Chains A and B, each alone.
Chain A
Amino acid sequence: MRARIGQSTLATPETWRAAARRLAEGEATLASLWGDEGGMRMAMTKVGEALHVLDFACDDGAFPSVAAIHAPAGRLERAACDLFGFAAIDAPDARRWLDHGRWPVRHPLGRRVAHDGAADPYAFLGAQGAGLHQIPVGPVHAGIIEPGHFRFHASGEAVVRLEERLGYVHKGVDSLTRGANVQRAAILAARVSGDSTVAYSVAFARAVEAALGIEAPTRAHGLRGLMAELERLANHFGDIGAICNDAAFSLMHAHCGVLRERTLRAAQAAFGHRLMMDAVAPGGVAVDLSAEGTEAIRTLVREIRSSFPGLVRLYDNTASLQDRTVATGVLSADLARRFGAGGVVGRASGRDFDARRDHPYPPYSDLGFKVPTRREGDVNARIWVRIDEVFESLDLIETILARLPRGPVRAALPSSGGPREGFALVEAFRGDVFAHVRLADNGAVARCHLRDASWFQWPLLEAVIEGNIVADFPLCNKSFNCSYSGCDL
């Protein structure tokens, strides 16, 4: 096992399993489970407490399965085993997750073994009963969306079981960041999930800054907040419209599309890129906000405030649309809590968590804002949480603009001068992104692990669709809007 760098605790098999049991009992939330040089690492969060990281040295190439005790760890554990070649003892699911057998190598980040690239067979979970049939969907889908495979077992129209198989867009981000300099790793981090590029850049930057013990300038924090809220607005408009479109209500889609486009144009005017890719950099931000940029954002906020309430009324008053969204795809509060479902998915099922408020970081630590929640857990609740968050984001943008100080926007990065590591938890539009960055003596990235909120949301989609009709799957899926690329890495 590599030299340890403080912050984390070395676990024995007993303390490792005890930690998994604490997660299962709800005393803490799993932030991530990932492989590192020589072992496995587990990060846990508890509101009001610092992040707790546990290390398990896989000296004999194995570790006690966390998934055996705490199911939400399952896919993270399978992914880490694929990449590092560790064995999870007593794992409930031994199938490979990211590795479809098509790479020229097994365990690309661990003990590398050459492989012929012949695809592995994959045994889908079954469902038995009279009249059941299977519907295989994907990886190439009918719409303009990312690839993944959905295996439905249906009884007539009702879904009996859905099983997801992902990993199709695995690009090897973990391997590409290893040994890269911080600038190159930041570019890769910004492309883990394009729709959350700002959140990922902030998460990566904060982890690097934590490792180096520096803080970005105050103005940079404000600009990061502006970008993050613009990103949230753009995605929420896109999602609200797209969910309605999946219920064949294209009017809402068209109008939300206009607001999304206006948001992206304001982002282009203010930060030089429609999605604000690479605008956040370790140490601060790469672009400063000009007077014209400020005006573009102010104009945008005015436009949204004048037109969005009408769209909310349109949604609220259209019974035929609500007929599709109300009571569809219900996620129970218990499942949301057990899986630590972040973002809209968790908050629409009563999980009152937002990394901006509960593990505060600037600029949010100085800002008051509401975290909207609902209890119903259906598609309608997920739409309403998004609607309420739009208004919160508008308020946040106005407050940040009003308080934005003058000054530098980027701090120079000191040399690492030894092995260091840092962690960060940042709220993206779809939930909390966890980042771990370990730097080597020469300042290069030795390990970068980025965990999307979708890791804990995708499995819940399987639970939510059960008993719903096949035709409501697009609605449920869109109301979750999980990232494929963010989990496939």
Chain B
Amino acid sequence: MRETLLQGVLRPPLTENPPADDDPELLALAATVKAAAERTLGRSLAIRHVDAGSCNACELEIHALSNAFYDLERFGFRFVASPRHADVLLVTGPVTLNMREALERTYAATPAPKWVVASGACAADGGVFAGSYAIAGGASTVVPVDLVIPGCPPSPATLLKGLLALMKGRAK
């Protein structure tokens, strides 16, 4: 253990620079945000993830946000275990009819002010599963959505830009 800890001290950090303020992908995402979270809550956002029917690829990339390269928490984001503690619901997957009520109840349990981010092609509009008898559709068919992050799945870099866009909103 000492060996591992010592190396951690001696080696430079792996954490990468945040996206630039004028990053085109960041600006494009920010342009779709109506009310930036920072104005209301400052630089601290608690995120509750809800898998509403995903294939689990989106979850893998959301997990990656917490690794040493992206280090999501340095920006003031953190994942919380309960919707009661959350400011943001991060919804993945096409909303299955079997998950619809669970998503509605999770949304109802989240205190206002709250934001909903639909993450990935399925949460956007049902993706490749659209048209199935078992699908309600994208997240916006069940809960009001503030931001859609595209991708199948969205890469951690894109997810990070999306969350920063939600926090900061449109450039002044």
Measuring CB to CB, which residues of chain A are less than 8 angstroms from any residue of chain B? 100, 102-105, 108, 117, 119, 139-140, 142-147, 167-173, 175-176, 187-188, 191-195, 197, 238, 251, 254-255, 257-258, 260-261, 264, 274-275, 277, 310-311, 313-314, 317-318, 483-485, 488
Say yes or no: A172-B135 contact (C-beta < 8 A), given A144-B62, A145-B51, A188-B128: yes
7 new A-B pairs (CB below 8 Å) besides A144-B59, A251-B1? A102-B97, A147-B99, A168-B102, A172-B129, A172-B133, A176-B129, A275-B60
A187 touches B55 (CB 8 A): no
Say yes or no: A169-B132 contact (C-beta < 8 A), given A146-B54, A146-B56, A257-B66: no
Query: Does residue B41 face the partner (Cβ distance < 8 Å to A)?
Result: no
List B contacts of A311 (CB < 8 A): 4
B152 touches A171 (CB 8 A): no
Query: Does residue B106 face the partner (Cβ distance < 8 Å to A)?
Result: yes
Q: How far is the CA of A257 from the CA of B68 in the complex (A)?
A: 7
Which residues, 9 to 24 on B, are CB-close (under 8 Å) to A? 14
A260 touches B100 (CB 8 A): no
A142 touches B81 (CB 8 A): yes
Cross-chain contact of A193 among B55, B62, B128, B153 (Cβ < 8 A): B55
B57 touches A104 (CB 8 A): no
For B, the interface residue count at a CB cutoff of 8 angstroms equals 50
List A contacts of B61 (CB < 8 A): 274
B55 touches A194 (CB 8 A): yes
B55 touches A108 (CB 8 A): no
**Complex: chain A residue closest to B7, CB-CB:** A310
Q: How far is the CA of A277 from the CA of B121 in the complex (A)?
A: 14
List B contacts of A119 (CB < 8 A): 101
Cross-chain contact of A170 among B50, B96, B128, B131 (Cβ < 8 A): B96
**Complex: chain B residue closest to A200, CB-CB:** B55
Measuring CB to CB, which residues of chain B are less than 8 angstroms from any residue of chain A? 1, 3-5, 7, 14, 49-64, 66-69, 79, 81-83, 93-94, 96-102, 106, 128-129, 131-135, 152-153, 155
B67 touches A169 (CB 8 A): no
Tell me, rounded to whole Å, the shortest Cβ–Cβ distance linking A96 to chain B: 11
A140 touches B50 (CB 8 A): yes
List A contacts of B131 (CB < 8 A): 176
Cross-chain contact of B59 among A146, A171, A187, A317 (Cβ < 8 A): A146
Q: How far is the CA of A257 from the CA of B72 in the complex (A)?
A: 14
List B contacts of A171 (CB < 8 A): 53, 55, 94, 96, 129, 132, 134-135
Q: How far is the CA of A38 from the CA of B124 in the complex (A)?
A: 36
Q: How far is the CA of A160 from the CA of B68 in the complex (A)?
A: 39
Tell me, rounded to whole Å, the shortest Cβ–Cβ distance linking A385 to chain B: 21
B4 touches A255 (CB 8 A): yes
B55 touches A191 (CB 8 A): yes
Q: How far is the CA of A279 from the CA of B65 in the complex (A)?
A: 24
List A contacts of B99 (CB < 8 A): 139, 147, 168-169
Tell me, rounded to whole Å, the shortest Cβ–Cβ distance linking B152 to chain A: 7
Dominant secondary structure at the A interface: loop
B64 touches A261 (CB 8 A): yes
Q: How far is the CA of A312 from the CA of B134 in the complex (A)?
A: 44
Q: How far is the CA of A172 from the CA of B106 in the complex (A)?
A: 24
List B contacts of A140 (CB < 8 A): 50, 83, 102, 106
Cross-chain contact of A277 among B79, B96, B100, B152 (Cβ < 8 A): B152
**Complex: chain B residue closest to A484, CB-CB:** B56
Tell me, rounded to whole Å, the shortest Cβ–Cβ distance linking A3 to chain B: 27
Tell me, rounded to whole Å, the shortest Cβ–Cβ distance linking A165 to chain B: 10
Cross-chain contact of B56 among A139, A187, A195 (Cβ < 8 A): A195
Tell me, rounded to whole Å, the shortest Cβ–Cβ distance linking B85 to chain A: 11
List A contacts of B55 (CB < 8 A): 171, 191-194, 485
**Complex: chain A residue closest to B79, CB-CB:** A144
Tell me, rounded to whole Å, the shortest Cβ–Cβ distance linking A283 to chain B: 20
List B contacts of A194 (CB < 8 A): 54-60, 153
Cross-chain contact of B98 among A102, A175, A187 (Cβ < 8 A): A102
B102 touches A147 (CB 8 A): yes
Q: How far is the CA of A104 from the CA of B132 in the complex (A)?
A: 11
Q: How far is the CA of A173 from the CA of B94 in the complex (A)?
A: 12
Q: How far is the CA of A168 from the CA of B101 in the complex (A)?
A: 11
Cross-chain contact of A310 among B3, B79, B81 (Cβ < 8 A): B3
Q: How far is the CA of A386 from the CA of B170 in the complex (A)?
A: 46
List B contacts of A310 (CB < 8 A): 3-4, 7
**Could you list 29 examples of A-B contacts with CB < 8 Å?**
A100-B98, A102-B98, A102-B100, A105-B133, A139-B102, A140-B50, A140-B106, A143-B79, A145-B51, A146-B56, A168-B96, A168-B99, A171-B132, A172-B132, A175-B133, A176-B128, A176-B131, A176-B132, A188-B128, A191-B128, A193-B56, A251-B1, A251-B4, A254-B68, A258-B67, A275-B57, A310-B4, A314-B1, A485-B55
Q: How far is the CA of A238 from the CA of B63 in the complex (A)?
A: 10
B1 touches A318 (CB 8 A): yes
A261 touches B69 (CB 8 A): yes
**Complex: chain B residue closest to A197, CB-CB:** B57
A258 touches B81 (CB 8 A): no
A277 touches B135 (CB 8 A): no
Say yes or no: A142-B82 contact (C-beta < 8 A), given A193-B56, A483-B56: yes
**Complex: chain B residue closest to A258, CB-CB:** B68
Tell me, rounded to whole Å, the shortest Cβ–Cβ distance linking A169 to chain B: 5
Q: How far is the CA of A261 from the CA of B60 in the complex (A)?
A: 11
B98 touches A169 (CB 8 A): yes
Tell me, rounded to whole Å, the shortest Cβ–Cβ distance linking A362 to chain B: 26
Tell me, rounded to whole Å, the shortest Cβ–Cβ distance linking B105 to chain A: 8
Tell me, rounded to whole Å, the shortest Cβ–Cβ distance linking B57 to chain A: 3
B79 touches A485 (CB 8 A): no
**Complex: chain A residue closest to B132, CB-CB:** A172
